[in-house]
Homo-oligomer: A and B are copies of this chain.
Amino acid sequence: MRLGTARVDGATRAVVVAERSVVPLPFADVGELLGHPTWRDIAESALAGAPDMPADLDLAPVVPRPSKVVCCGHNYAGHIREMGRPVPQHPTLFAKFADTLTGPSDVVTVPDWAEGLDWEAELAAVVGAPLHRATRAEAAAAIAGWTAANDLSVRSWQRHTGQWLPGKSFDRTTPLGPVLVTADELDPGAGLALTCRVNGEVVQRGDTADLVFDAAALLSYISSFTALAPGDVVLTGTPAGVGAAETPPRSLADGDLVEVDLEGVGVLRTPIRIETTRRDADPGPAKEVPHE
């Protein structure tokens, strides 16, 4: 099954996307649907008879309000090498806020002082059942399904300090979708092509079978320290080919179109808008730190 969250009349609505029809579900979004233990049955029965919706859906992030969005960096061997990083013994994790997410066809706008906007095509796992200190097998069984993400990163702000949060959390800069494909229909461990294109040029060409820590390993590790809930989203990292690794580094410009194409899931199409705006706000340190 393919599940989505559609924008309808100023609100959102969970939908099942079938081959030639779109069926609305009685839930505000896919996250709310997944909160019901019988979400699979609910969605399957809806497919049987409910009325269609227009095919040209305006899609929201497939889970628009997850309680947790956890992201992994340095998780493909090729990308680890291109960023000059050591071999990881543990997954490198950071968090995003729910409102960092945006829809699969939405324009992403960043201010011109957010220099170095870069693409990161990713496979994302969506949690379908509560997880707390889960084994690998428990974690694997709790994955509701798979979707695609573009972890668009503002490299200058990511590098302000050793902690990446600012460059990874500009509002509405992480396209997520277009749909969730349920875990019974897709196996990233067997290898799905993960491609990123900028204005049609292929810049990343990965394979989800090459993840260092696969989704089950990530969910098990994450659930060791923090409980995961249905609808939570885990971004599994990006393959080689980011702009920051080019010589000289390359970044996205106003008017660019970035596409993340995940085999079996679909395409995120993101027009980039660089907004010219003065930044009033950089008060700097309130105190000088003595050099000692």
Contact = CB atoms under 8 A, between A and B. Distances in A.
A90 B160 contact: yes
Given A169-B225, A216-B283, A281-B136, A68 B90 contact: no
Query: Chain copies in the assembly?
Result: 2
A163 B134 CA distance: 22
Contacts of A88: 161, 285, 289
Contacts of A210: 287
B171 A225 contact: yes
A93 B225 contact: no
Given A68-B97, A220-B281, A212 B289 contact: yes
Given A77-B290, A161-B91, A287-B210, A280 B133 contact: yes
A107 interface: no
A284 to B, nearest CB: 7
Interface in A152-188: 154, 157, 160-167, 169-171
B161 A285 contact: no
A162 B159 CA distance: 12
Interface string A209-222: 01111101100111
Given A92-B163, A99-B227, A171-B225, A77 B283 contact: no
A94 B226 contact: no
Contact of A170 (B92, B114, B170, B225): B225
Contacts of A171: 225-227
A68 B100 CA distance: 11
A14 B289 CA distance: 39
A80 interface: yes
A80 B134 contact: no
A20 interface: no
B154 A281 contact: no
Interface in A225-278: 225-227
A289 B77 contact: yes
A289 B240 CA distance: 13
A290 B80 CA distance: 10
Nearest to A220: B281
A211 B134 CA distance: 40
A99 B68 CA distance: 10
Given A100-B226, A157-B225, 6 more contacts: A135-B281, A166-B221, A171-B226, A212-B289, A214-B286, A223-B281
30 contacts: A67-B98, A77-B289, A81-B292, A87-B289, A88-B285, A88-B289, A90-B160, A90-B166, A93-B161, A93-B166, A94-B95, A94-B165, A95-B165, A114-B225, A133-B279, A135-B280, A135-B281, A139-B281, A162-B162, A163-B164, A166-B222, A166-B225, A169-B226, A170-B225, A170-B226, A171-B225, A211-B287, A212-B289, A214-B286, A217-B286
